[in-house]
Each structure stands twice: as C-alpha cells, then as structure tokens.
A = this chain, B = another copy of it.
Amino acid sequence: MKYNFGAGPCILPQEVFEQAAASVLDYNGLSILEISHRSADFVKEMEEARNNVKKALNVPEGYTVLFIQGGASLGFLIAAMNMAGKHKKAAYVNTGVWATNAIKEAENAGIEVVEIASSKDKAFNYIPEIKNIPEDIDYLHYTSNNTIAGTQFHSIPETSVPLVCDMSSDIFSKPIDVSKFALIYAGAQKNLGPAGATLYIVKDSFLGNSSLPLPTYLNLKVHADKDSMFNTPPVFSVYVSNLNLKHLLKNGGVESMEKINQEKADLLYTEIDNNPNFVGTAEKNSRSLMNITFKLTDENKKERFDKLWNEAQIIGLKGHRSVGGYRASIYNALPLESVKVLVDVLKSL
C-alpha cells in the first residue's frame, strides 16, 4: 500500500482502476483499446462522459462539453484563439507558472495581454486582488488553482466581461457556477481521468465567433459540431474519465467532494500550523485545498523527515523544483486515511 500524494497524473478511485483494467481485457468482447471510436459502444461512452460532466457540474443549457487533446498547454492557445473578439485584447491574472504560460500563448496568438493582477512579487504565494478591469477587452482569464505554489481562488472574480478559466487542478473538487463562465478548460489528469484528454466547457454563443483565423483542430466549433469526434479522440482517457464521473456521481457528487476535501485540508493545515517543525508556503487566505505546500522550519531535519515519510510508504511529497519544500496533493481520490498517515508522520518528526 502506497499513499500517493503526487501532483498529477494522480490517484483515481481504486474501483475505477479495477473497472479500467477489466475493460482493457474485455469490453463487450473486445479490448477497450481496440474498439473503433465510431462504434456504437464508444459513441455512447463519449456521449455519457459529456453528459456526466454536465450532471456533475450542473452545467446550464447553452453550454457544450468537449474532450480534446493537448492538455492545458494547448488549451492556453485554444482559449485565446477562440475567445479573441473585436479588441484582440484580454486581461490575465498571473498567479504562477501556468498563468504565465497562458499569457505567453495568448501573446503568441496575437492577443494584447493586460496583466491586471499578479503575485509574482512574492513567488506566487498568494491570490492577488483584482481591481480595475479594463472595458476594452475580449475576456478575463485566470487559473483557479496553482498546483506549484499551492494557492487557489476561493471565489469567482466579479466582472461583466467574458470569464475564461483554466481549472485543470481543481475542477470536480467542489461545486462551481458554470453560468458565470464563457469558457472553462482543464487537463483531465487530476480529478477527472488519465492524462491525454482535456475538458472544455464552452458557452455556445462564443462558438464560431473568433476574430482570428482558426486552424481546424484549434477551433472549438469544429469539435462541437462533430460532438467531440472531429478526429479520433483519446478513447481510453475519455472512457476512464467517464468511469470516474460515474463514481463521483454515485458518491455524492462535487458537494460531497467539497466536504471531504475541506476535511482533509483542515486536518493537514492544522497540523502544519500547530507543528513548530513546519510552516505553510502559501498565505493563509489563499491556501489551496488541492495542493498543500509547506516547508521545514529547520532544514537540518530534512534527512530525518524524508526518511520518515518514505518509510511510511508516502510518495509524491517532494515540492515542485521551483518552490522547494513539500507538496501534498490531496485530490478527490486521495482517502482521508492517507492524510491521517501523513499527519502522523509530521507529528513524529
């Protein structure tokens, strides 16, 4: 038994792994890996997956759910190109590496970027306040959770401009009001499914309205018009995502996840705050419920602490190389039990 605190690709429910493995051997008489994406069976899986996203997030009418490839890294470009309007100008909130990359790709797409808020001055350890949103912009973009520094938006920015969000690392961890967004995108490999699929939830009125010429694959309308089957989709990633969505819906949905995730985070943050050996990396009111970052107060204890958690069969606790320290990623599928094991290790130092 290993306790997987990895930042992603990360743990999924054991039941999902078992169902996925069984289907690699036998899915209606074939391997799930050899079925045609045009087969009735897979068309049904794709439709179910898209509908289960809608169910799980209570997506209102007028939105389309898509699975595309390329991760959020291609999503940065797709978001900018599809959301470009008459201004070819957008506001971005810079909360870390992923937001910085999103800004870069918007610029690569020919968008003039206004960085309206940034926490770069403190190594991105807080969520900056958003003030003075310009009016002559096509959209406002932010990254809901910063996996590296361990910060998270705890409310949706108030704005009248179209809102675009990279939710790769906290989607499905809590309810969200989708109606407030023009576009949400997220790599699958945290709370959704295996790496290789990227989720898009796009408001239909923004499909086909870009002011930029769009290559076919980068055009969300192309994917929407083909029910997310414009070309061969990442069949297995979508299939396992659907297994995981069904597991989520069966177990109380995102409302239930939010409670459990809060409980897990409280347990760990409380120990970090009370234990003189550790200090949290992120500012308290910006703390992420998904990626809990912390450091030793005395680096001389590093060897002993590393030995302790390794011996406890904990993996994936090393902090991102740009931040150092430690990072406990406690996504949906990480059991409360695993957090208790980690807390005990912290106590034992």
Closest residue of B by beta carbon distance from A77: B215
Indicate if the CB atoms of A4 and B18 lie closer than 8 Å: no
| Alpha-carbon distance between A215 and B103 when the two chains are bound, in angstroms | 12
A21 at the interface (CB under 8 A from B): yes
Indicate if the CB atoms of B2 and A29 lie closer than 8 Å: yes
Q: Which of A195-236 contact B (CB under 8 A)?
A: 195-197, 213-218, 230-236
Interface residues on A, range: 35 or more
Indicate if the CB atoms of A4 and B30 lie closer than 8 Å: yes
A194 at the interface (CB under 8 A from B): yes
A162 at the interface (CB under 8 A from B): no
Residues 16-44 of chain A: 1 if any B CB is under 8 Å from the residue's CB, otherwise 0? 01101110110001110111110100000
Closest residue of B by beta carbon distance from A73: B231
* Chain A interface helix/strand/loop/mixed: loop
A9 at the interface (CB under 8 A from B): yes
Which one of B2, B8, B25, B217 lies within 8 Å of A74 (CB-CB)? B217
| Alpha-carbon distance between A44 and B284 when the two chains are bound, in angstroms | 38
Which residues of the other chain, B, contact A17 by a CB distance below 8 angstroms? Answer: 24-25, 31, 33-34
Indicate if the CB atoms of A240 and B33 lie closer than 8 Å: yes
A101 at the interface (CB under 8 A from B): yes
Which residues of the other chain, B, contact A20 by a CB distance below 8 angstroms? Answer: 24, 33
Residues 93-121 of chain A: 1 if any B CB is under 8 Å from the residue's CB, otherwise 0? 00000000100110011000000000000
Indicate if the CB atoms of A70 and B73 lie closer than 8 Å: no
A316 at the interface (CB under 8 A from B): yes
Indicate if the CB atoms of B34 and A12 lie closer than 8 Å: yes
Indicate if the CB atoms of A73 and B195 lie closer than 8 Å: no
Q: Which of A31-59 contact B (CB under 8 A)?
A: 31, 33-37, 39
4 closest A-B pairs (Cβ-Cβ)? A196-B234, A69-B69, A73-B231, A21-B24
